[in-house]
Amino acid sequence: MLSLSLQDFLSLVEQGALPPPIRLGKHSLWVVAEIEAVLTGSKIEQEAFVV
């Protein structure tokens, strides 16, 4: 989906350009729909997914 190094990806998250992860124990997970929305410039409704 993205051609970025992990360091560059996390930098974009820290800058607020990408959405923050959902923390699940020691793991960080991202909602694919949120990343896709950023890439396409569209909005997603929070009710569109359930974690």
Over residues 2-45, the pLDDT tens digits come to: 799 999 999 999 999 999 999 999 999 999 989 999 889 887 66
For 42, half-sphere exposure in the C-beta direction (CA atoms, 13 angstrom radius) is: 9
Give the Cα separation of 16 and 28 in Å (integer): 16
Please report which confidence band the pLDDT of residue 51 belongs to, taking 50, 70 and 90 as the band edges: low
Instruction: Give the span between the Cα atoms of 42 and 25, in whole angstroms.
Output: 30
Judged against a pLDDT cut of 90, whether residue 1 lies above it is answered with no
